Amino acid sequence: MEVIFVLCSVVILYTYLGYGFVIFILVKLRRSDRPSEGHSYFPTVSLIIPFHNERLGLRSKIENTLNLDYPPDKLEIIFVSDGSDDGSERIPLEYSSIKAVFIPRRGGKIAAMKKAAAMASGEILVFSDANTSLNIEAIQELTIPYRDLRVGGVTGEKRIITLQSDGASSKGEGIYWKYESFLKKYDSYYYTLVGGDGGLMSFRRVLLDDIPDDTILDDFMLTMRMAEKGYLVKYTPLAKALEFSSSSVNEEMKRKIRIAAGGWQSIVRLRRAINPFHDLTLSFQYVSHRVLRWAVVPFLLPLVFLLNHVLVFASHHQVWVFLLMIQYCFYGLALLGYLMRNRPVKVPGFFVPYYFFVMNYCAVLGFFRWFRGRQAVTWQRAERANEKGL
């Protein structure tokens, strides 16, 4: 029992702390692929933005897109409405410089992306979400790594906009994405990214896989399929996608449960990525960064908590009491975060235990939703912090 407890604890610590340290050291110990510099490479680009019922922020997104710094004769902009019925489907028609596509029957994000990709003319396809704002150099920065013919995909950095008055959702998600961005950067330096973010990702059009329309995590699956085929997926933090966090923890949980269900679907389908005999380095990164976090640790946490109680009563060694007290303190802080979730707290990292608990709780719920086949491919739009009360 002691061995099981120690092994489970090691896996948990490795997943959330150890892997970041390991990948950082590996990059420092060997010559790794660092991002190239310069802006002399301008391939033709098709920027595709699928959306559903984004009436509140779509005009802002369109204006942001039109202000991007990239040669106009090299940039094609396509907005595709996936069954919108709030009037937002008519907004792109007001702008003559963009292509507007309307799909009357909702089919999901990946179906909308395919529709737009089929009519795109660019060498590079860039996908962005309607609720994100891109920095002016985003497209320039995304295209630079494509000078390397080994690169099949490039993604940008997701940044969460947080305000001093924000509660648990904004503060927790903001800290999470800072750490996630660190891991993405060093994954890319070491070998390849293991999963992009739909806020800003790109691919060589000729290499893009035709993934099934029932795919839940389109951004993750597209980047991983590229990696499975032997192409590199790179990360450029100078291309930024900024977005507000969910307006509340309940809204954030909708996203997290869907992501977890999609994670399980992806694990079942990405058989080459998890196979060390196909690509040992890819498998190491994929399992360490994704599989353990989605499919293993959420179930180990309650097991370790229960085993610790048994070891305290079965053994007189004080180390088990000490470890149990640490767990009680951590979950106590999570409970305190729950009680303060809608209030602004200025203490840095205050909401991390609560956000960690919610994230893993959603992962368990997501597993059961996937197992029962109840996760729809169409996404339910989450209210953002800047939209609260509108």
Residue 252: the pLDDT is 78
Compute the chain's Rg from CA coordinates.
22
For residue 339, name the pLDDT band (cuts at 50, 70, 90). confident
Structure confidence by residue, pLDDT tens digits, 195-214 = 888 889 999 999 988 888 88
pLDDT value at 280 more than 60 = yes
Looking up tokens 């000490």 gives: 322
Residue 352: the pLDDT is 87
Q: CB-based contacts of 237: which residues, under 8 Å, 6+ apart?
A: 156, 157, 181, 185
Q: How many other CB atoms are found less than 10 A from the CB of residue 200?
A: 29
Q: How far apart are alpha carbons 221 and 193 in whole angstroms? A: 12
Structure confidence by residue, pLDDT tens digits, 302-321 = 999 999 999 998 887 899 99
Residue 164: the pLDDT is 57
Structure confidence by residue, pLDDT tens digits, 254-275 = 888 999 999 999 999 999 999 9
Structure confidence by residue, pLDDT tens digits, 130-169 = 999 999 999 999 999 999 999 999 999 988 776 555 555 5
pLDDT value at 118 more than 80 = yes
Residue 319: the pLDDT is 94
For residue 45, name the pLDDT band (cuts at 50, 70, 90). very high
Residue 304: the pLDDT is 97
Q: How far apart are alpha carbons 362 and 357 in whole angstroms? A: 9
For residue 49, name the pLDDT band (cuts at 50, 70, 90). very high
Structure confidence by residue, pLDDT tens digits, 68-84 = 999 999 999 999 999 99
